[in-house]
Amino acid sequence: MILLSILLFKTGLAFTLFLITLGIAAYSTYFERKVAAFMQDRVGPNRAGPLGLLQPIADGVKMIFKEEHRPTGSNRILFILGPSIAMLTALMTTAVVPWGKTITIGGTAYSLQVADINVGILYVFGVVSLGVYGILIGGWSSNNKYSLLGAVRASSQMISYELAMGLSIIPIILGSSSLQLSDIVTSQYEVWNIFKYPLGFLIFLICAFAETNRTPFDLPECETELVGGYHTEYTSMKLGFFLFSEYVNMFASSAVISTLFFGGYHFPGMSLFPEGIAAILGIAVLFGKIIFFIFFFMWIRWTIPRFRYDQLMHLGWQVLMPMAILLIVIYGAIFSFI
């Protein structure tokens, strides 16, 4: 009976999470345009519905009804598989993020996490690196040299930054001596990881920007300079999936950053509240952190210009990688001797 209720709860949680992820990603597109407008002293979308709030729906309808086109000589199955993989992997990431404290209802403890697997953070990296397949397959199956070049460029960027990203969180894993995300969050009950590993956070943040293809690392999708890159040949909702998966990724990486470095659902003065209220407040706080990071992504977008490709590679391999390795050495020494 308890097992069944937990199973039902997990299914419900997974489904809610799916809807929340899609909803937040859809409204990020609106939010992005609004933030862009405000930063450029404009108004932004305000025609569809009150304050333009129906804009994402209008965009979605437009995307679905646009003409579908597949270039001749392209691989039909892979051409459809590309955006699907991009979307699927983007949606899978948030499964291991702990969204709140364990809630006890009627004597049964429900953890607000779809899957509390003991290699949580490795799962995140594994799934994120699968996202490269979506891009590469999409670019290759288009039967277009430039798309292929764009895909190679994009995937090499993502692979390069994933290394530094993976290395930058090793101090955290050493500190909490667990790969489980729930353990990492619990270990931040007193001090958030950002105060313990500020440099690691910086490296992780920069890599997260590169992984989600956001400015200043949005080289895969600069239409004007590089003709769109891997998704040049995509139209209608297939293109929409590629673009939408970027927003889902942005939400997922904001969630992972909040979990790894900003204490997840913890907030100062949490012990002052009774158990149940603290748990609910914790969820709200986590979403607040996530929304702040989504805003931060957009904030950066309108501040820093795009990198040149060689600068991008230089930063990834010659600055961030050595720095991350150095951090591992330093923190390793600290944890083993002190």
Partner 1 sequence: MQLTNRSKQVSNKEMTFSERMYLPAIAGGLRVTFSHMFKKSATVQYPEQVREHSAVFRGQHVLKRDAEGRENCTACGLCAVACPAEAITIVAEERKKGEEHLYREEKYAAVYDINMLRCIFCGLCEEACPKDAIYLTDRIVTSNYERADFIFHKEDLVEAVALEGRIDITKRKKDK
Give yes or no for a contact between 160 and 314, defined as CB atoms under 8 angstroms apart: no
Give yes or no for a contact between 297 and 212, defined as CB atoms under 8 angstroms apart: yes
Integer Cα distance of 331 and 338 in angstroms: 10
Mapped onto helix, strand or coil, the DSSP state of residue 113 is coil
Query: Which range binds partner 1 by CB under 8 A, 94-102, 105-113, 116-124, 298-306?
Result: 298-306
| For the chain, counts of helices (H) and of strands (E) | 14, 2
- Token pair 């230089």 in the structure block, residue: 314
| Residue count, binding to partner 1 (CB under 8 A) | 13
Could you tell me the CA-to-CA distances from 143 to 37, 40, 77, 146, 271 in Å, in that order? 37, 38, 13, 9, 58
Q: Does residue number 292 form part of the binding site for partner 1 (CB under 8 A)?
A: no
Q: Does residue number 42 form part of the binding site for partner 1 (CB under 8 A)?
A: yes
Minimum Å gap between C-beta 304 and partner 1 is 6
Integer Cα distance of 245 and 250 in angstroms: 8
Query: Which range binds partner 1 by CB under 8 A, 85-93, 94-102, 155-163, 300-308?
Result: 300-308
Q: Does residue number 41 form part of the binding site for partner 1 (CB under 8 A)?
A: yes
Could you tell me the CA-to-CA distances from 116 to 104, 110, 181 in Å, in that order? 17, 12, 7
Minimum Å gap between C-beta 37 and partner 1 is 7
Q: Residue 228 — left, alpha, or beta (φ > 0 → left; ψ -120 to 50 → alpha)?
A: left
Q: Does residue number 69 form part of the binding site for partner 1 (CB under 8 A)?
A: no
Q: Which of 38, 189, 195, 335 binds partner 1 (CB under 8 A)?
A: 38
Minimum Å gap between C-beta 319 and partner 1 is 10
Minimum Å gap between C-beta 250 and partner 1 is 18
Minimum Å gap between C-beta 218 and partner 1 is 16
Q: Does residue number 313 form part of the binding site for partner 1 (CB under 8 A)?
A: no
- Residues of 101-114 as b/e, b for ≥16 C-beta within 10 angstroms? bebeeeeeebbbbb
Query: Which range binds partner 1 by CB under 8 A, 6-14, 189-197, 222-230, 294-302?
Result: 294-302
Minimum Å gap between C-beta 38 and partner 1 is 5
Site for partner 1 in 8-37 (CB under 8 A): 35, 37
Interface residues with partner 1 (CB under 8 A)? 35, 37-43, 299-300, 302-304
